[in-house]
Chain A
Amino acid sequence: EAQVTQNPRYLITVTGKKLTVTCSQNMNHEYMSWYRQDPGLGLRQIYYSMNVEVTDKGDVPEGYKVSRKEKRNFPLILESPSPNQTSLYFCASRTGAVDTQYFGPGTRLTVL
């Protein structure tokens, strides 16, 4: 089954404790991206990757890091999480510029 998976689905952590949210897709998609969704602000793009070892900032990259060492994986790293990073995070992937984007199920992160 074609899908985008994220882990963990739910995470409660404390300020400053480094964490990684994993994202994996089994569709051989070149393009992957991360979004956060907040009430009243909607979905905003954090980072995107056009292919292995090629990444770029979206609208809200501050406080986040990404890496794309393999085509199927695109982890989101929070080196020193803060409460304002409490949010619902989505990973997505697609083949190319004119293709449908597929979203993962989301990761609900709470930073205390």
Chain B
Amino acid sequence: KQEVTQIPAALSVPEGENLVLNCSFTDSAIYNLQWFRQDPGKGLTSLLLIQSSQREQTSGRLNASLDKSSGRSTLYIAASQPGDSATYLCAVYSGAGSYQLTFGKGTKLSVIP
């Protein structure tokens, strides 16, 4: 059974700092990996989707990498801003047809002005 772990569970950084969030998964036979953002009491917003054949994806100040063989992904946030404060979730698509989606428990990020 696929398991997804995110470290650290919480992170507090001063504004402007670059930071890295980590995600690891136990079964490397995945289809895609997706990073989401969740604000308190709200739904999930997709940040980046990395297909299994890709090594990384970039969107603005965000860069996500994927290393299937080692079962790891990282989300790099450059020049953090207070508006980046949220919980970041990593999710892995696996199983036949990639219908099974397994989430990590998230990293709660606080960016201090």
Contact = CB atoms under 8 A, between A and B. Distances in A.
Dominant secondary structure of chain B at its interface with chain A? strand
Contacts, number: 58
Interface in B63-113: 89, 91, 93, 97-106
Contacts of A97: 31-32, 93, 97-98
Interface stretch (A14-22, A62-70, A73-81, A100-108): A100-108
Contacts of B45: 103
B29 interface: no
A45 B32 contact: no
Interface string A69-112: 00000000000000000000010100001111111111000000
Contacts of B93: 97
A50 B106 contact: no
A43 B93 CA distance: 13
Contact of B49 (A44, A45, A100, A103): A100
Contact of A106 (B42, B49, B98): B42
B18 interface: no
Nearest to A6: B43
B46 A105 contact: no
Contact of A33 (B34, B101, B102): B101
A40 B44 contact: no
A38 B102 CA distance: 14
B105 to A, nearest CB: 4
B31 A40 contact: no
A44 B32 CA distance: 17
A105 B43 contact: yes
Interface of A: 31, 33, 35, 40-45, 48, 50, 56, 58-59, 90, 92, 97-106
10 contacts: A33-B101, A35-B103, A43-B89, A50-B99, A98-B49, A100-B46, A101-B91, A103-B43, A103-B46, A104-B43
Interface of B: 31-32, 34, 36, 42-46, 49, 51, 89, 91, 93, 97-106
